[in-house]
């Protein structure tokens, strides 16, 4: 979305049309809406803005639920926004620490600010992109003076009037549609500036889950977060927002439920063990936080192989921090023999999981030519130089 489209949209006519169009889920719906609106005499900028927003609102439901129907987005802003359920958890930590006001630097479309304002925290949101700041202002307008938005650089904001800071540095190229990741040396504001603020003011910074852990300051708490099976972000907490004795944390969120594993540092892996009755795959947040050992000890499990994130055990135990599989049998790893074995067992639906082996599941699936009414999970991995193909069922 460019400035002309936003200007056309932020009018009584534009907002009325957007409510009238609703959400658009398919290409056919988009084409019909464009034809109808153009035939009605609406300008190209307005039609483009309305239809674009209607499509984005449909996609945004996964992150913002019913609130998406009352929000505005850019494509890049939606992709990078914190989903509302996670933003509410971030806000809860600020609230629990007694924080009354937060400077949200790099607010994007306002996802985290919505969570904070929803818990009664005063938010002073800032974004360096003018269009994005205008959209954030629209999204936060229901909170009145409790949530303000400025178009400014984070570095130019006076933090003296706020209790804490929330930072989300731009980690991608500028733009509202197609963007690409850039190295930390190109972030805006810079990583050095971000860390400097967090050493002076309580707060947190949102980073990608693959952030180089060697750059994490020792005094910060590092919390990796997964939501519904996807590891979505790393948050570094500082000052009063960092918990005493916690430097590594894995927060696992599934729908409305959440579980957290914490430790004072990286956890040593448990020892290697022979293949047992069960194989456990740790959640991505657990792997990133290097807390596999904590989970292994709780499950009375061992590493299936050094350096590969699979645990194995004989005990019928599981945990929200792993996906567990009961091993049926070990099959030949050779694709031709594997295909024969699967056909003999009538397996036509197969979930393929792999770690430590160079296998493209999509290519392998074609080679297997699956047929049958049964279903199973195939776990492909290795122990040393030996490849394993394990037929299993999810617990």
Task: Give the integer Cα–Cα distance in Å for 92 and 90.
Answer: 5
Question: Which structure tokens are listed for 362?
Answer: 């999509």
Task: Give the integer Cα–Cα distance in Å for 372 and 296.
Answer: 35
Task: Give the integer Cα–Cα distance in Å for 124 and 70.
Answer: 21
Question: Which structure tokens are listed for 216?
Answer: 């994490």
Question: Domain residue spans in the chain?
Answer: 3-73, 81-263
pLDDT recorded at residue 250: 98
Terminal Cα-to-Cα distance of the chain (whole angstroms)? 46
pLDDT recorded at residue 180: 66
Report the b/e string of 349-369 with b at 16+ CB within 10 A: ebeebbbbeebeeeebeeebe
pLDDT recorded at residue 243: 97
Q: Contact at 8 Å (CB) between 223 and 237?
A: yes
Task: Give the integer Cα–Cα distance in Å for 20 and 32.
Answer: 14
**Ranges of residues in the chain whose predicted pLDDT is under 50:** none
The residue length of the chain stands at 395
pLDDT recorded at residue 324: 97
pLDDT recorded at residue 172: 66
308 burial (CB, 10 Å; 0-12 / 13-18 / 19+) is middle
- Whole-model pTM: value is 0.91
Query: Residue 189: is the preceding peptide bond cis (ω within 30°)?
Result: yes
Question: Which structure tokens are listed for 150?
Answer: 């400025």
Tokens 């004072």 label which residue? 264
Q: What is the CATH number of domain 81-263?
A: 3.40.50.150
Q: How many CB atoms lie within 10 A of CB 189?
A: 19
- Reported as a single tens digit per residue, the pLDDT across 268-289 is 999 999 999 999 999 999 999 9
- Reported as a single tens digit per residue, the pLDDT across 127-160 is 999 999 999 999 999 999 999 999 999 999 999 8
Helical H runs in 240-351?
Answer: 284-289, 292-298, 335-344
């Amino acid at each position: 979305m460019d400035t002309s489209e936003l200007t056309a949209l932020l009018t009584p006519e534009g907002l009325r049309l957007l409510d009238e169009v609703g959400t658009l889920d398919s290409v056919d719906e988009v084409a019909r809406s464009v034809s109808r609106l153009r035939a009605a005499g609406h300008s190209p900028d307005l039609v483009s803005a309305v239809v674009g927003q209607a499509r984005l609102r449909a996609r945004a439901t996964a992150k913002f639920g019913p609130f998406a129907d009352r929000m505005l987005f850019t494509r890049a802003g939606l992709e990078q926004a914190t989903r509302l359920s996670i933003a509410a958890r971030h806000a809860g930590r600020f609230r629990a620490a007694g924080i009354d006001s937060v400077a949200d630097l790099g607010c994007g479309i306002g996802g985290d600010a919505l969570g904070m304002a929803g818990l009664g925290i005063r938010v002073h949101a800032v974004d360096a992109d003018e269009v994005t700041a205008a959209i954030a202002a629209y999204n936060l307008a229901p909170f009145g003076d409790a949530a303000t938005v400025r178009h400014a650089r984070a570095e130019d904001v006076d933090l003296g009037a706020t209790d804490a800071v929330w930072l989300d540095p731009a980690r991608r190229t500028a733009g509202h549609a197609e963007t690409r990741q850039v190295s930390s040396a190109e972030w805006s504001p810079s990583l050095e500036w971000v860390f400097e603020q967090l050493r002076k003011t309580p707060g947190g910074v949102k980073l990608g889950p693959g952030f180089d852990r060697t750059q994490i300051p020792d005094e910060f708490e590092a919390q990796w977060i997964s939501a519904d099976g996807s590891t979505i972000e790393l948050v570094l907490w500082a000052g009063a927002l960092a918990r005493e004795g916690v430097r590594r944390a894995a927060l696992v969120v599934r729908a409305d439920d959440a579980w957290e594993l914490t430790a004072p540092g990286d956890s040593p892996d448990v020892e290697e063990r022979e293949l047992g009755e069960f194989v456990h795959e740790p959640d991505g947040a657990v792997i990133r936080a290097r807390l596999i050992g904590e989970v292994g000890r709780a499950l009375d499990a061992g590493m299936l192989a050094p350096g590969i994130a699979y645990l194995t055990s004989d005990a019928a135990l599981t945990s929200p921090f792993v996906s567990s599989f009961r091993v049926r049998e070990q099959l030949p790893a050779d694709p031709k023999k594997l295909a024969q074995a699967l056909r003999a067992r009538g397996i036509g639906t197969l979930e393929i999981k792999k770690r430590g082996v160079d296998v493209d599941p999509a290519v392998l699936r074609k080679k297997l030519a699956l047929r049958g009414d049964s279903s199973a999970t195939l776990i492909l991995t290795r122990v040393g130089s030996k490849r394993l193909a394990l037929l299993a069922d999810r617990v």
